[in-house]
């Protein structure tokens, strides 16, 4: 698939990995619509020349309404998600069940919700790229909810790809490691340097533009299907 023929939706496209993906796709000649809940997303989309729809990925009607504004859809990159930290049993008691369910609802169910509704609109085939995480395989303390949601995303790739093969739709997932996103930058340079030291090579945080480049390669390489690619500089969390 040539990027100039791509009509893409990027969820969570107002910041971080999603924003980098939207920018990268536009620079390569694709048409891009950003789905995001934040009003700042509309401002960002206007600034880079992308379309925008206010969408809650957990709400089927909201997602369906967002897709109504997109004609000729053939690519989706699911970047919408949240990161939560809470131990299974902490000082204040057991993990909050509502917090666990919200994390899974946004990260996993939201990803599937967008994917299933996107597939119904891809009349001439296409590609769906989901965002997992290295936490799917190397979840840390306090990541029970987050790691479970991301492991679910990794597990979606093959069965969804098999389901959608007859429709000419590929499904892939990217499992990023530690990337320099606004959320991580909020921790400060010292913390980020400490995280980067565990990356094998190159020994640094990932650049969101590298995530965007891999997403573009997946779109263009039509033999990639049904798997999860780790994008982590060989990081294996201790």
Rounded to whole angstroms, the Cα distance separating 29 from 108 reads 30
What backbone torsions phi and psi does residue 127 show, to the nearest 5 degrees? -145, 140
Query: Strands (DSSP E) along 44-125, which ranges?
Result: 51-54, 75-78, 89-90, 93-94
- CB count within 10 Å of CB 64 equals 14
Burial track 98-134 (b if 16+ CB lie within 10 A, e otherwise)? eebebbbebbbebbbbbbebbbebbeeebbbbbbbbb
Active site residue 146: yes
Tokens found for residue 113: 């919700």
Candidates 44, 100, 146, 179; catalytic one: 146
Q: Are 32 and 25 in contact (CB under 8 A)?
A: yes
Catalytic residue numbers read: 146
């Amino acid at each position: 698939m040539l990027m100039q023929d791509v009509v893409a939706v990027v969820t969570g496209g107002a910041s971080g990995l999603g924003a980098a993906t939207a920018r990268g796709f536009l620079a390569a000649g694709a048409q891009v619509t950003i789905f995001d809940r934040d009003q700042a997303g509309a401002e960002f989309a206007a600034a880079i020349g992308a379309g925008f729809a206010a969408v809650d990925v957990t709400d089927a009607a909201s997602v369906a309404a967002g897709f109504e504004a997109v004609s000729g859809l053939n690519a989706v990159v699911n970047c919408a998600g949240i990161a939560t930290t809470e131990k299974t049993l902490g000082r204040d008691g057991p993990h909050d069940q509502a917090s666990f369910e919200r994390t899974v609802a946004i990260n996993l169910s939201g990803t599937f919700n967008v994917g299933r509704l996107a597939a119904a609109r891809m009349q001439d085939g296409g590609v769906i790229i989901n965002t997992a995480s290295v936490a799917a395989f190397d979840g840390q303390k306090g990541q029970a909810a987050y790691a479970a949601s991301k492991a679910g995303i990794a597990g979606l790739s093959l069965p969804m790809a098999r389901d959608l093969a007859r429709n000419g739709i590929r499904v892939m997932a990217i499992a990023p490691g530690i990337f320099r996103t606004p959320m991580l930058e909020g921790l400060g340079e010292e913390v980020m340097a400490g995280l980067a030291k565990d990356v094998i090579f190159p020994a640094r945080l990932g650049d969101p533009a590298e995530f965007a480049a891999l997403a573009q390669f997946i779109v263009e390489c039509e033999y990639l299907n049904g798997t999860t690619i780790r994008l982590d500089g060989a990081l294996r969390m201790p």
